Structure formats: C-alpha cells, structure tokens
Amino acid sequence: MPILQVQVTAGRSQQQKTAFLQNATKVIEQTLNAALPSIRISLQEIEQQDSIVAGQIGAEFVNIVAFLLAGRDDELKANFMAAINKTAVTTLDVSDTCIRTMVIDVAPEHMGVQEGLSAKAFRARSAS
C-alpha cells in the first residue's frame, strides 16, 4: 500500500523528477518489502512564491509524506526514511537539510484498496 505524497520546490527538470519517481519506487520495494503493484507516488511542485521555510519565501524544500499500512517496525521505517532522503538528495539536487519525511501508519481497516474493500477485508477475502 505505500502511498507517497511528495512536495518539492519548483524548478526540477523532467529528467530529475522521473529519476526521483523511479528510484523512490525501488527504495519502497527494497526497504519496506512492498509489492510493486501496491506502490503509489505523486510529486507536486510548489512555486517558490507559494511556500515559506524558516521565514524565507521560496526556500528550497522537499516534504515527503508516506502512508503505510500499520505493522512495519521502527527499524524498517528508519531504513526507509534514510534511503528516501538519500534518493531525494541525489536525484532532485537538494540539500539534505531541506528534506522532511513523515511516516503515517494507517490501520488496514482504514485503507481502501481494490473493489472498494478495506485492506483488512481484502486480505481476509484473499486468504479464504
């Protein structure tokens, strides 16, 4: 289920954004043991005049919000955060200091998946 919503200061080339999306997908697969069909990532560019960081209009930033099905341990999440941070630095050409990552655990009964079922209901149906 991993869903990443990524905001980045505008100005990246399409090549950089594509590289980030592709590498972030690999990071999720490798660090969170997620199946490729379950991974979703959206990348939103924010115009410099439309953001403020530490009191500075237009300062560089990358905000990454990762919604994960609850159950992964803290070590897995820490490994993911370190790897996704490195991916942003290398592909988006940003400083490590401007990246913030949040991991939000979602209970399986609170995440809708295929056919309008919750992840919990879908797993139960698939197991039977």
17-64: pLDDT as tens digits? 999 999 999 999 999 999 999 999 999 999 999 999 999 998 999 999
Work out the number of other CB atoms within 10 angstroms of the CB of residue 32: 23
Is it the case that residue 10 has pLDDT exceeding 90? yes
Is it the case that residue 124 has pLDDT exceeding 90? no
Higher pLDDT, 110 or 23: 23
As a dihedral over the C-alpha atoms of residue 83, residue 104, residue 35, residue 99, rounded to 10 degrees, the angle is -30
pLDDT tens digits, 64-102? 999 999 999 999 999 999 999 999 999 999 999 999 999
Which residues is 106 bridged to in the sheet? 69
